[in-house]
Amino acid sequence: MRRFLTVLLVVTLVLGTAGLVLAQDGDPEYGGTLIYAQGADADALDPHMTTLGNSADVIVNVFDGLVRFKPGTTEIEPALATDWEVSDDGLEYVFHLRKGVKFHDGTPFNAEAVVFDIERQLNSDHPYYLEGAYPYAGFSLGMIEKVEAVDEYTVKFTLENPYAPFLKNLAMFATMIASPEAVKKYGEDIFKHPVGTGPFKFVEWVRDDHITLEANEDYWDGRPYLDELIFTVIPNNQTRLLELEEGNIHVMEGLNPTDVERVIENDNLDLLEAPGLNIGYIALHNEKKPFDNKMVRKAMNYAINKEEICKYLMGGQATPAKGPLPPTIWAYDDSLEGYPYNPEKAKTLLKGAGYGDGFEFTLRTYSAPRAYNPVGSRLATAVQQYLSEVGIKANIEQLEWGTYIEEGKAGKHTAAFFGWIADNGDPDNFLNVFFNSANQGSTNRAFYSNPKVDKLLKQAQQITDEDKRERIYKEVQGIIVDDAPFVFLNHMKMQIPIRSNVKNYVLYPTNNKYFHKVWLDQ
């Protein structure tokens, strides 16, 4: 009997495992409608007319760029361009375009279309240039001196200066290519008539309610598995989670830290997690007392318990930052120790800097949660508490977001909370943004200035050799962590709850939602 039971157990186990494997590796199924719920509506569906993540999530499913990110990475692979050459001086990029691709309106995709789409953003004399419409063009394409069609399927970009992250910019949603005929047809209303070459075609947009896309049967990279893809807007985080639990939606963004357990415990839901390409930090104004003193800045870093903040205040949705780069980015220096919590060391440093009795300063904060800070102004209260333990008195000053950002760019703060989300997944997009002295007045909010760092950053932009670039970025990280222009706080994880029957959903470091290869187990 016992033997029989053993056999039975083995058989059950084997069958059970086989069943599991089958369930996991089942062949993708075609068909079905997937509903993805966002917290806010898109503002524009033309790739060049928005900076908003909610718009980008729709755009990456309707459009393609010349190149794209490999799923789940920031590595580049061919998309509308099959291959490319870069000149030795890093100034000329020649792309060979994919043949036989058509936009959703039937317009053929070719070099002319690429040139048209770039010029309508950069050239204010272009007949389809729209005033005040392209908030991202300066960052993503501003380095282009000219773009020309060499022949029907070859396009050549000439840059003003060598700019190594250029290819990554061309994988961003903001540089994806729209149909020139659609731009001509819709004029100023192009923002609500997206026509690309992507895996899904646009069907309708009901403002603040939903955007519907349908499968592009002729997609050059294979028809998507889903028949229909709906982006719906549910502003309230609780309501959105209820809809997911009921199975009325399939994928959602914006999970409250307090609801993580609830998702994990639900058998019908899976929680997808991956490190994000972002950072939350406190910009210490490096030109203002007392933060013009490096020892004080270091003391600030040691005094704050980032582990505790990430684990408890942010509910485990974040990991502590050791330096200016998130750990998953290429060229991240893992050997750096950063500033582990050490209040005693902070006190010693303060004494050494002549602030043995501590000091008082104004700590600026915004109120509402942001993508790199899920708790809003409560973060400032926690930091204030830690600082008081080493004798530093932080007076919190809360400002309305628009004013906050404006005055932050202008440097009116002594210390203020900020954060950054990667645009293109290149270290340049963090280090140059934060620490190049030329970016004071915009993104260099610590007003950090170090001629050596400026020189290194420029060098890294101008060479295309990845190994050399990596070495430079590691050197810059060393200098920056030692100089401590920021209090390096946290990196948010990406957390996306999905229904268990949603298969093959991959998180991208840029946090855009791609649905081409996603299928529903029906």
Partner 1 sequence: MLNYILRRLLFLIPLLLAISIVVFFMIHLIPGDPVQIMLGDKGTAEDAARLRTELGLDKPLHVQYFKFLSNLLKGDLGRSIRNRNPVINEIGTSFPATIELTILSMIVASVIGVIAGIISAIKQYSLIDNVTMVAALLGISMPVFWVGMMLMLIFASRLGWLPISGRISRMADLNVITNFYIIDSIITSNWAAFKSTISHLILPALTLATIPVAMIARMTRSTTLEVLNQDYIRTARAKGLPEKIVITKHVLKNSLIPVVTIIGLQFGSFLGGAVLTETVFARAGVGRLLINGILGRDFPVIQGAVLFIATFFVFINLIVDLLYSYLDPRIHYS
Q: How many CA atoms lie within 13 A of 393 on its CB side?
A: 5
Which of 64-72, 101-109, 158-166, 413-421 is the region at the interface with partner 1 (rule: CB under 8 A)? Answer: 413-421
In angstroms, give the least distance from the CB of 236 to partner 1. Answer: 5
Which of 184-192, 257-265, 285-293, 382-390 is the region at the interface with partner 1 (rule: CB under 8 A)? Answer: 184-192
* Cα diameter, the chain: 89
Q: What distance in Å separates the CA atoms of residue 282 and residue 382, rounded to the nearest whole number?
A: 13
3-state SS class at 379: helix
Site membership for partner 1, residue 136 (CB under 8 A): yes
Contact 20, 168 (CB under 8 A): no
Site membership for partner 1, residue 74 (CB under 8 A): no
Candidates 248, 362, 500, 504: give the one binding partner 1 (CB under 8 A): 248
Residue placing its CB nearer to partner 1 in the complex, 197 or 432: 432
3-state SS class at 492: strand
In angstroms, give the least distance from the CB of 423 to partner 1. Answer: 7
Site membership for partner 1, residue 401 (CB under 8 A): yes
Residue placing its CB nearer to partner 1 in the complex, 6 or 33: 33
Candidates 135, 257, 327, 369: give the one binding partner 1 (CB under 8 A): 135
Candidates 192, 223, 288, 351: give the one binding partner 1 (CB under 8 A): 192
Site membership for partner 1, residue 153 (CB under 8 A): no
Residue placing its CB nearer to partner 1 in the complex, 232 or 477: 232
Could you tell me which of 236, 275, 253 has the C-alpha nearest to residue 497? 253
| HEC letters along 24-61 | HHCCCCCCCEEEEEECCCCCCCCHHHCCCHHHHHHHHH
Count residues binding partner 1 (CB under 8 A): 56
Site membership for partner 1, residue 44 (CB under 8 A): yes
What is the enclosing helix (H) or strand (E) of 488? Answer: strand 486-499
Candidates 85, 261, 400, 482: give the one binding partner 1 (CB under 8 A): 400
Candidates 8, 10, 22, 242: give the one binding partner 1 (CB under 8 A): 242
Q: What distance in Å separates the CA atoms of residue 431 and residue 473, rounded to the nearest whole number?
A: 8
In angstroms, give the least distance from the CB of 108 to partner 1. Answer: 28
Question: Tokens for 328?
Answer: 């998953």
In angstroms, give the least distance from the CB of 189 to partner 1. Answer: 8
How large is the C-alpha radius of gyration of the chain?
Answer: 25
Contact 52, 46 (CB under 8 A): no
Residue 200 backbone class (left: φ over 0; alpha: ψ -120 to 50; beta: rest): beta
Could you tell me which of 210, 235, 214, 212 has the C-alpha nearest to residue 226? 214
Q: What distance in Å separates the CA atoms of residue 431 and residue 452, rounded to the nearest whole number?
A: 13
In angstroms, give the least distance from the CB of 191 to partner 1. Answer: 5
Site membership for partner 1, residue 154 (CB under 8 A): no
Candidates 146, 184, 223, 409: give the one binding partner 1 (CB under 8 A): 409
Angle formed by the axes of helices 378-389 and 294-303, to 10°? 110
Build a one-symbol-per-residue string for 416-445: x at contacts with partner 1 by CB under 8 A, - elsewhere: --xxxx-x---------------x-xxx--
Site membership for partner 1, residue 126 (CB under 8 A): no
Site membership for partner 1, residue 127 (CB under 8 A): no
- Give backbone dihedrals phi and psi of 451, rounded to 5 degrees, phi first: -55, -35
Neighbours of 127 (CB within 10 A): 10
Q: Which residues bind partner 1 (CB under 8 A)?
A: 33, 35, 40-41, 43-44, 49, 51, 130-133, 135-136, 138-139, 188, 191-192, 206-210, 230, 232-236, 238-240, 242-243, 245-246, 248-249, 399-403, 405-406, 409, 418-421, 423, 439, 441-443
